[in-house]
Structure 1
Amino acid sequence: MTTYNLKNTLNALSNADNQQAIKGIMRGIERESLRINHDGSISKQAHPQGVGCALTNGHITTDFSESLLEFITPVSESSTQTLQQLKDLQKFTLEHMGDELLWPISMPCFINHQDDIVLAQFGDSNVGKMKTLYREGLKNRYGSMMQAIAGVHFNISFPQTLWQSLHSLKQSNAKLEDFISDSYLALIRNFKRELWLISYMFGASPALCSSFLQGRKSDLPFKKLGKGTLYLEVGTALRLGNLGYTNSAQSSLRVMYNSLDEYVAGLKKAINTPSDIYGSIDDYTSATPKQLNKNILQIENEFYSPIRPKRNAKNGETPTDALLRAGIEYIEIRALDVNPFSEVGIDLEQIHFLDVFLTYCLLKDSAPMDWQEQTRSTENLDTVVNQGREQGLMLNFNNEQRSLESWGDEIFSQLSDVAQWMDIAYDVDYYSNTIKRMATWIHDPALTYSGRYVEQLKASGLDNGHFALSLAQKYKQSHETASYTEFSKSWLEQQAAESYQAQKAIEQADKQSFTAFLDTYFRVC
């Protein structure tokens, strides 16, 4: 039997029967952005009324706080369409924000105190109150400052034609649904092994406002700029490091990705295991609750991971139960900083790279990943987060030291092969051109997002906050002069109006008390 490593798999997929199998990749984007005042401070105003209800508008909502907007595109086969939809959503929202702006970077603006970050409100329904109480729990567990960090989530699913071709080529005896889930998990393992590359290429948060630390000391080798800017000279993505979306309390959670049952079991254990750390915080059974419950994770979404297997859940269904019901449907990439060089937070070339990189992660061999290997991958990420642009940087490759340049060159050589195959399938040349151009970044860190950001920040002579504010003003002007292309203004207004009707219907349908509602919810979980 043929061993289907990356080269053999690409050769097999290049025959006439399978050449078009990759066509039909579907994508969706979720972009987060803080609303800020014209002076660069965080907005304390409520969610803009004109854009609809945060609970029920599927395209414009909030994340942790009232000021942290989230723009969600529909699923689309066209990357260009997705970016235009994202642009329309942001243009429409800005029109309802007065003189407020959208913060164009991941690390937050100047925030005097965490109480300036107003928790997101979702109305008086039980599900709405649950969402706010969950956020109250996040605040009391980790502090609100961490929750003010913004990112971009990239969702991708591969076409049924590819799954059928791979299922046949690998002579799998598994049901197609199980084969797809196993293949997505193989992708996740490879992604985690080489996640450091995403941080190196697209990390764009090497600087922050000192207010973010709230007086805490840091062991990171920060340099100072202006009145209150701290930055890492060779760092890449503070958002992905110990100052960002990490949770030391979760470090003991051994959530593994070698099978769907193993992954689900790891998460379910975390949401049903009492926490030694958070046990003293009042939960929903108290008169004045400060968190949903006293477990290690309140709900599954609290698990901070740079990549997640996903399936659209039915009403009342938890994410893991949806996975168990019908397998993995798509993958959510959560490791992207907001791109400060794009008015919508991500650009077309990034999407082209991610298409190739994730296809490569899917098609290449992916052995089971034990906890020690997961730990090594996290250590490599931390190394690149803090010093990724340092010349001669060494990483841990199978328990041996290897230079970032050598490992990166090897990855890009294989990405080039994948890109050529995808170009032929799509009858384009942009996949190969993207990989060829970005391959040069491995040996010239000044070309990376973090390299460009630090260079431009220094050249501006501004604090990080004022530099980001200038970008926010520039992008708002661009949105103001642009025309709607994918969504009409009237359609977006209709969505906003319908969202309020939907919220009212949910509130009127409630028959249980909030406590009884949560009793039922956690009993089912």
Structure 2
Amino acid sequence: MAGVLIRHQKGYILSARFSHRLQILSEGDNKACLQQIQHGIEKEGLRVTPDLQLSQIQHPRALGSTLTHPYITTDYSEALLEFITPVYLNPEDALNFLSELHTEALNKLPEGEFIWATSMPPVLQGDDLIPIATYGDSNIGQMKYVYRQGLAHRYGKAMQTIAGIHYNFSLPEQFWEIIRKADGDSSDLSAQDYQSASYFALIRNFRRYAWLLSYLFGSSPAVDASFLEGNDQHGLDRLDDQTWYLPWATSLRMSDLGYTSDAQSSLAICYNTLDNYVESLWSAIHTPYPDYEKIGVKGSDGQYRQLNTNLLQIENEYYSTIRPKRVTQSGEKPVVALKERGVEYIEVRCLDINPLMPLGINAAQARFLDTFLLFCALEDSPEISDDECDIIASNFGLSVREGRKPDLQLHDGSRPRGLTEWGAELLERMQPIAELLDNVSGTSLYQESLSSEGKKLNDVSLTPSAIILKVLEGGQSFRGYSAQQSRIQDDKLRSQKLDSERQGYFDDIAERSLHDLADKEMSDTVDFATFLHEYFTSEEIKA
């Protein structure tokens, strides 16, 4: 069934398996499970001073502890805020909470500071003025700090100032039960193992088609000249004295200027099965890497330089466009949680911050992502061979550096395909999913989001990267444009005052987080060296 193509009653060309799954999912009460899809959003943003440089001031105490606050923390730098929403059934609710987090943070920033509205950073003045985030004196807080020191020594600090948006997406257990019955699956896999295998099928399709997201949503076609200081091999074109760019780029953030490294390029992380994925990550975490051994765990001053000298210090160091995830228990390694309890949700990590939107993402984009991810879950997803893995990497690389180039050709297996032609076909195949989601939600918003994105495939000037670059080519520098958009978006978000009840809610959370930090610092029973040793030796992957 998997390889057979059929025509949907409305004219769409679909695989037989996809069509059958969709039909079963649409029947009776089955479609109600789509109302139980869960969403969460994580959004980063740099604190910037009026002269467009990174803030050197510590994270505001009024916002609570970055170690224990559930919603407002920092990523790599003390200046790099990270907002984390709770999980919601409706993506609009996640966006509303994200808006409140912005308002809360903006109103408590030091005088004159604002949040940078683009993924690529403002004016950088060298590594010494990129402050690494601190998390207090507890062992876990020190571990987070040392991990970031390791990133600095391994990759440099500038790369760590790049900001983005992560979109968390979880399908309910009932959905997987329906799909399993639709497939007539009679294997002896447990429900947990079937769900994990199905999430990995979704991930494989996501990787196959992630180039489409870069084309539609990529918003970083240019960078400030200071970001490239000392890098003579970047391959970009100069736009003005302060700006470098590529004429057809969509997302330099996701190019080899951003989250890549020579060491990680040697990793062969497998997405065909959970076991292979866990084993390949586990191996990377436990395999010494000569260049990192030269750095050493500690410097001559006795201060930690990194957590260890292995290819990856911890799992989170592996950069990927998408991750399988499982909520961890206290002190539990993510890879162990996945092995023990399976995949719970996926985290989309390739989304730029769109400076044309106050939050960097809006509800229409979220609805498109839901449609796209559901398509990836329902579509046939054979295992990825080594050859296809190379093709996937090539397609994505072309899309981020040359995605808007006229007649750009990607590779669909062994045959070339035009990006826009292939993208239009994918949107056509996604159409019945958008219709089903609209039917379930009683709206037309999913089809409208699909239609809106389709217009970008017909007219490249509608893509955010093209809109941004048009302004820059008109004479505005990247830093000037980003500052302008940042202030516009900040003004909108600051003006949305929290009512007294919501303000009290966030004040209570911040105060409680400070108490929780103090409790953590008082509860440690071993020194930091012992803590690290126990962390890296206490849990092994069970066969």
Normalised TM-score (structure 1): 0.97
Alignment of 1:332-371 (within 5 A): 332-371=347-386
Alignment of 1:130-141 (within 5 A): 130-141=143-154
Structure 1 residue 221, shift from structure 2 partner? 4.2
Corresponding residue for 2:79?
67
Corresponding residue for 1:503?
517
Q: Is the 8 A contact 1:52 1:496 kept in 2?
A: yes
Q: 1:428 to 1:440 in 2, by over 3 A?
A: same
Match of 2:213 among 194, 198, 204: 198
Deviations 1:169-217, CA, capped at 9 Å, x for gaps: 1222322111111111000000000111111111100010011011211
Q: Is the 8 A contact 1:204 1:237 kept in 2?
A: yes
> Would you say 1:514 and 2:528 are equivalent positions?
yes
Corresponding residue for 1:142?
155
> Would you say 1:240 and 2:254 are equivalent positions?
yes
Deviations 1:364-417, CA, capped at 9 Å, x for gaps: 000001232122111111111111101110011102211112211210110112
Deviations 1:461-485, CA, capped at 9 Å, x for gaps: 3211011111111122112211337
Q: Which moved more, 1:355-364 or 1:165-174?
A: 165-174
Structure 1 residue 142, shift from structure 2 partner? 0.2
> Would you say 1:76 and 2:88 are equivalent positions?
yes
Q: 1:179 to 1:284 in 2, by over 3 A?
A: farther
Corresponding residue for 1:263?
277
What is the alpha-carbon root mean square deviation over aligned residues? Answer: 1.6
Q: Is the 8 A contact 1:153 1:333 kept in 2?
A: yes
Q: Which moved more, 1:405-414 or 1:351-360?
A: 405-414
Q: Which moved more, 1:161-170 or 1:66-75?
A: 161-170
Corresponding residue for 1:5?
17
- The CA distance in 2 between the partners of 1:260 and 1:427, in whole Å, is 36
Alignment of 1:92-111 (within 5 A): 92-97=104-109, 98-111=111-124
Alignment of 1:38-57 (within 5 A): 38-57=50-69
Q: Is the 8 A contact 2:355 2:486 kept in 1?
A: no
Match of 1:121 among 134, 138, 142: 134
**SS at 1:339's partner residue?**
coil
Structure 1 residue 441, shift from structure 2 partner? 1.1
Corresponding residue for 2:10?
none
Q: 1:510 to 1:232 in 2, by over 3 A?
A: same
- The CA distance in 2 between the partners of 1:486 and 1:386, in whole Å, is 47
Match of 2:125 among 99, 108, 112: 112
Structure 1 residue 360, shift from structure 2 partner? 0.2
Structure 1 residue 284, shift from structure 2 partner? 5.3
Corresponding residue for 2:38?
26
- The CA distance in 1 between the partners of 2:39 and 2:381, in whole Å, is 23
- The CA distance in 1 between the partners of 2:179 and 2:510, in whole Å, is 42
- The CA distance in 2 between the partners of 1:130 and 1:91, in whole Å, is 30
> Would you say 1:280 and 2:294 are equivalent positions?
yes
Q: Is the 8 A contact 1:234 1:390 kept in 2?
A: yes
- The CA distance in 1 between the partners of 2:25 and 2:36, in whole Å, is 15
- The CA distance in 2 between the partners of 1:62 and 1:494, in whole Å, is 19
> Would you say 1:155 and 2:138 are equivalent positions?
no
Q: Is the 8 A contact 1:81 1:486 kept in 2?
A: no
- The CA distance in 2 between the partners of 1:458 and 1:348, in whole Å, is 29
- The CA distance in 2 between the partners of 1:223 and 1:289, in whole Å, is 39
Deviations 1:16-71, CA, capped at 9 Å, x for gaps: 24232322111000000000001211111111111000000010000001000000
Structure 1 residue 448, shift from structure 2 partner? 1.0
Q: Which moved more, 1:186-195 or 1:461-470?
A: 461-470
Aligned partner of 1:271: which letter?
A: I
> Would you say 1:448 and 2:460 are equivalent positions?
no
> Would you say 1:407 and 2:422 are equivalent positions?
yes
Q: Percent identity?
A: 38
Deviations 1:56-87, CA, capped at 9 Å, x for gaps: 00100000010000000000112221111111
Aligned partner of 2:449: which letter?
A: T
Unmatched 5+ residue regions in structure 1? Answer: none
Structure 1 residue 363, shift from structure 2 partner? 0.3
- The CA distance in 1 between the partners of 2:318 and 2:63, in whole Å, is 29
> Would you say 1:178 and 2:193 are equivalent positions?
yes
Q: Is the 8 A contact 1:41 1:109 kept in 2?
A: yes
Corresponding residue for 1:425?
440
- The CA distance in 1 between the partners of 2:473 and 2:292, in whole Å, is 42
Aligned partner of 2:88: which letter?
A: S
- The CA distance in 2 between the partners of 1:166 and 1:6, in whole Å, is 10
Aligned partner of 1:292: which letter?
A: L
Unmatched 5+ residue regions in structure 2? Answer: 5-15
Corresponding residue for 1:91?
103
Deviations 1:409-444, CA, capped at 9 Å, x for gaps: 210110112111221122211111111121121121
**SS at 1:163's partner residue?**
helix
Match of 2:498 among 481, 484, 508: 484
- The CA distance in 1 between the partners of 2:443 and 2:112, in whole Å, is 42
Corresponding residue for 1:220?
235
- The CA distance in 1 between the partners of 2:30 and 2:108, in whole Å, is 48
Q: Is the 8 A contact 2:228 2:234 kept in 1?
A: no
Q: 1:419 to 1:486 in 2, by over 3 A?
A: farther
Q: Which moved more, 1:253-262 or 1:1-10?
A: 1-10
Q: Is the 8 A contact 2:24 2:178 kept in 1?
A: no
**SS at 2:295's partner residue?**
coil
Deviations 1:330-389, CA, capped at 9 Å, x for gaps: 000000001111111211111010000000000000000123212211111111111110
Q: 1:457 to 1:86 in 2, by over 3 A?
A: same
Deviations 1:276-323, CA, capped at 9 Å, x for gaps: 221111215982221110000000100001100000000111001111
